[in-house]
Structure 1
Amino acid sequence: MPYKKATAGKRAPAKRKLAELFGLGEVLTDTSRKEWKLGVPIGQGGFGRIYLADANSSKPVGSDAPYIAKVEPSQNGPLFTELKFYMRAAKPDEIHGWTKSHKLQYLGVPRYWGSGLHEKNGNSYRFMVIDRFGRDLQKIYEENGKKFSHKTVLQLGLRILDILEYVHEHEYVHGDIKASNLLLSYKNPNQVYLVDYGLAYRYCPEGVHKVYKEDPKRCHDGTIEYTSIDAHKGVAPSRRGDLEILGYCMIHWISGHLPWEDNLKDPDFVRDSKIGCRDISVLMDKCFPDKNKPNEIAKYMEKVKLLSYEEKPVYQHFREILLQGLKAIGQKDDGVLDFGLSENGDLQTKPTQKKKRKAADKKAAAAASEDTEAEMEVTGSPEKKKPTTAFSKSKGCFHSHMYWCGRLTLGRDKTPTQPLTPLLSGTEGGNRMSKLMVCFGEIEDLMGRLFTIYCCVQNRFK
């Protein structure tokens, strides 16, 4: 029987202001009186901006800065919501203690380093400093033909279960697990982190679980293709919802398909399709019609279906199901994610591409000598833009892979949003330019990858 359609109207979005652009070297002081120096802005979204950041010193913030600072007007709500989670659950000592006590190699939760308020030009801004990361899995998924290997998916599932157990034990649920919210470590491509806690919900404040209640005003919260049946009905997020979302992600990553993906503009259709697929055999037949079905995923989804709204999952049981799946395909949990990535999450160049790349490098250098103008983006880590889905709505903080990797865009008049002369002047600047031209040649060779690089033609800014 189809679920009754919600009749309540949409809530009007709150009016918010965009944060002004801070200059290089701006110093922010957090609530513990620690000072943080800002580097180049690497992205903006929603109503906030993201900057490279480091502890304050006499040195400028380099392109390899280990932190990012998220800044938005203090009257805005998204960062405040996310900040509450980080302050309660993501302090470095707490994450370290959990990792050690649970005998984990690492825990994929970003560490919170500080936050505070900053006054500038008569305006008040809220900021938060957390770890910097590499590329997001959505980009890699698309570059891999919208599929991951069976082994990789099961290992991702194991790491995400570790994350969810930690988050849930700290009275929160994430509510928006998906590839674009899963980022590789900036240094280690075998480590994955769950980011964007703008939809994080405190389901069990002071140990008292929220009651099951359907609210038409909250119907379909989250990312439509993955969100839980509870969320489709307007029920507040819970632990079982997070595990259900993870299940849909794993199915999508292995099969490249979800039964409702062609009708994402109709959230009621998506909801009814998911309800119809509570018969897990139906779901598996639709997603794997001509292939051997991954039995461990079916077992995982069956176990999720048995959870009650307030029930605490036995996370180890879910991990054992995925470990059995690895064993069934002759693999083990070796901690290696076979994305073919190098340091900082960048795709490795195949050996067969080297000759072509050298030729492209020469061509790029010749073009530079002729003062060819380039319309580019300046970024700290190569990436390409992700196509957006109309109803893949994630409310809350300004989030996107671009904010974590490092990105600065040129304005419509082809001038940077702040001077780049210090980055490109002198001998060191010349060396940078040479390296950037090599990167540009590689972009030509790789065609559709649309990587962006730190590059401006010197004569452009003299």
Structure 2
Amino acid sequence: MPPRHQHIVGIHYALGPKIGEGSFGVIFEGENLLNKDAREPVAIKFEPRNSDTPQLRDEFRAYRILNDCRGIPHAYYYGQEGMHNVLVIDLLGPSLEDLFEWCGRKFSVKTTCLLARQMIQRVRTIHEHDLIYRDIKPDNFLVSEFQLNHSSSTSTSSSSSSSSSSRAQRYVTQSAEGDPNLIYMVDFGMAKQYRDPRTKQHIPYRERKSLSGTARYMSINTHFGREQSRRDDLESLGHVFFYFLRGSLPWQGLKAPNNKLKYEKIGLTKQKLDPNDLLMNGAIPEQFATYLKHVRSLKFEEEPDYDYLIGLIDDVLTQWHLEDDNHYDWMDLNHGEGWNITVNKRANLHGYGNATPRNNNNNHNNNNNNNNNNNNTHQETSQHNDTTKLNRISQTSRSKNNHNSNRRAETPTTSRPIRHTNYDSMGTHYHNGNQSNRLENHRDNYYHEQQQRECSPDDSMSIDNRDGNILTRLITGLCCCCCR
């Protein structure tokens, strides 16, 4: 049994330490208490129920559609706890952005090729299930295990390091295939259906759309307000590949008086540069330029030739005499031991794809091994405070609900979890076209002035201009993702 003070979510998920927070809410480590022997690790995401841009219900429905797909985490529970929406999914390892940082902000050609094949396959899987992702970036791709790579990594002279290693060893998520380097895609809060899952009718081409995605990686068409389709996900992937190979992109760090002008400037720079100009005088294989040219030439409704794109990557491995042995750059870290959370900084699991807040100090000291004792104390205190805060919020919510019976007809007031069966998969109500189209038009024309003012100038931050309040009012019987 868990300690009496331990917070339980969805009947049998025990809340652990906080591992991140952002504009969306908070994310915790947790355990599935039903499996007492294995102590299954999970990630538990919280967002306020009154959020202007709710994401977790959308994410849950996307995970339901992609259930059992290779490289997609499982979603175990979605419900409400007090004043929060809660989503429970697999706990995974660090993101490709984390690994990129740990490897000196550059991947080798071989590692980029091995990653590119997996990433194209993940996007292909999503497209085959009638979804487009719309926010491709390294932060949203995670490796499949969260542990020290070798038992030898756990040996350390200090007791605090030993404690940290033992804690890390408990939280392990292995892929069903047993591949610790299987790449997962996470954070489907901005996904959208691009076609009817039954008739396969494609959404219409439109212009004057608000920006959705991450400016550094988004397609040229997205910059100019054109409706996104499959081609745009693949173009964003191409930008990520060059980011890995070059260490940075030519449109990073551009200055402008405000974000709107900055995003326009980034788009114009992408449009002006020929993909061959990104090859760094032959240091990068020309197939990556061919990839980018090809996906940019696709028509709005055209089905991409994924096999051709993967073939380009295979050609690089062959022509550059690179061994296809599933060995990645991060496996050489720490004298061949691989990535290690007691040596490397804490994995960036902030929202499983959401940007790390600038003022988040919870994991700041993990970079310094000499401060491990202080760090462990800080994390334990933080964990207790976070759990206490959630308990207090839930108790306050229940108290208010008892005195607000007039609101019960329109707002759920109980902290009892909502069952999965209350939520159909996204395709179920796709036929409700008139209401869907009204919601689509309203949301796409809505402009988040407050969000625009508060948006970070960092071009690696996601831009999500959505009307969450309209979504909340019209959510019943509608497909969340297809209405964007």
Determine if the TM-score, normalized by the shorter chain, exceeds 0.5. yes
Residue from 16, 23, 31 that aligns with 1:46: 23
Q: Distance in 1 between matches of 2:354 and 2:374?
A: 18
Give the secondary structure class of the aligned counterpart of 2:331: coil
For the 8 Å contact 2:14–2:32, the answer to whether it is kept is: yes
Residue from 362, 369, 376 that aligns with 1:409: 362
Matched, 1:134 2:93: yes
Identity %: 27
Q: Distance in 2 between matches of 1:350 and 1:312?
A: 42
Mark the CA change 1:264 to 1:78 in structure 2 (over 3 Å): closer, same or farther. farther
Matched, 1:233 2:224: yes
Deviation per CA, 1:411-433, whole angstroms, max 9, x where unpaired?
Answer: 9xx9xxxxxxxxxxxxxxxxxxx
Partner of 2:310: 319
Q: CA deviation at 1:453?
A: 8.5
Give the secondary structure class of the aligned counterpart of 1:204: coil
Partner of 2:43: 68
Give the AA of the match of 2:334: Q
Partner of 1:307: 298
Matched, 1:268 2:264: yes
Deviation per CA, 1:285-343, whole angstroms, max 9, x where unpaired?
Answer: 2x2343344121122122212311111112111111110111111124332323226xx
Query: What do you get for the CA RMSD once the two structures are aligned?
Result: 3.7
Mark the CA change 1:52 to 1:269 in structure 2 (over 3 Å): closer, same or farther. same
Mark the CA change 1:247 to 1:453 in structure 2 (over 3 Å): closer, same or farther. farther
Q: Distance in 2 between matches of 1:259 and 1:337?
A: 25
Q: How many residues end up aligned between the 2 structures?
A: 331
TM-score by length of 2: 0.60
Partner of 2:164: none
Mark the CA change 1:298 to 1:384 in structure 2 (over 3 Å): closer, same or farther. same
Mark the CA change 1:452 to 1:334 in structure 2 (over 3 Å): closer, same or farther. farther
Give the secondary structure class of the aligned counterpart of 1:308: coil
Q: Distance in 1 between matches of 2:356 and 2:301?
A: 36
Matches within 5 A, 1:163-178: 163-178=122-137
Q: Distance in 1 between matches of 2:109 and 2:224?
A: 32
Give the AA of the match of 1:409: N
Give the secondary structure class of the aligned counterpart of 2:329: coil
Q: Distance in 2 between matches of 1:452 and 1:249?
A: 37
Q: CA deviation at 1:60?
A: 11
Partner of 1:26: 7
Matches within 5 A, 1:43-442: 43-57=20-34, 65-76=40-51, 77-89=54-66, 91-92=67-68, 95=69, 107-118=70-81, 120=82, 123=83, 125-186=84-145, 187=174, 189-206=180-197, 207-216=200-209, 218-219=210-211, 221-263=212-254, 265=256, 266-277=262-273, 282-285=274-277, 287-340=278-331, 347-349=333-335, 383=345, 399-400=353-354, 409=362
For the 8 Å contact 1:116–1:126, the answer to whether it is kept is: yes
For the 8 Å contact 2:207–2:225, the answer to whether it is kept is: yes
Mark the CA change 1:61 to 1:383 in structure 2 (over 3 Å): closer, same or farther. farther
Mark the CA change 1:453 to 1:177 in structure 2 (over 3 Å): closer, same or farther. farther
TM-score by length of 1: 0.63
For the 8 Å contact 1:37–1:57, the answer to whether it is kept is: no
Give the secondary structure class of the aligned counterpart of 2:93: strand
Where structure 1 has 5 or more consecutive residues not aligned to the other structure, the ranges are: 1-22, 96-106, 342-346, 352-378, 389-396, 415-438, 445-449
Q: CA deviation at 1:451?
A: 9.1
Partner of 2:389: none
Mark the CA change 1:454 to 1:132 in structure 2 (over 3 Å): closer, same or farther. farther
Give the AA of the match of 2:30: A
Tell me: higher relative CO, structure 1 or 2? Use CA pairs within 8 A at least 6 residues apart.
2
